[in-house]
Amino acid sequence: MTRLTMILFSMIGTALAGSGVVIALTTGNDTLQPILISAALGAALGLPVSWWVAKQIS
C-alpha cells in the first residue's frame, strides 16, 4: 500500500499544491511567502489524502 500511496501522492499532492497557489493568487496574495505557504500546505495535505485514497482502493 505504501507504493500505491506514493504514486497517488505524486498526482494528488501536485493538484492540491497547485490549487493552493491558485487560491492564494485569486485572493490577492501575490508575494512569495503566501504562495509558498499555500503550496506547502497543499502538498502536506496531499499525504493523508493519498493514504486515504490508497486505503479505499486496496
Per-residue pLDDT of the chain (58 residues), as tens digits, is 899 999 999 999 999 999 999 999 999 998 999 999 999 999 999 999 999 999 999 8
CB 14 within 8 A of CB 28: no
Q: Is 33 exposed, middle or buried (0-12, 13-18, 19+ CB in 10 A)?
A: exposed
Pick from 25, 22, 2, 4: nearest CA to 14: 22
Q: What pLDDT is attached to residue 1?
A: 84
Give the predicted TM-score (pTM) of the model.
Answer: 0.87
Distance separating alpha carbons of residues 58 and 52, to the nearest angstrom: 10
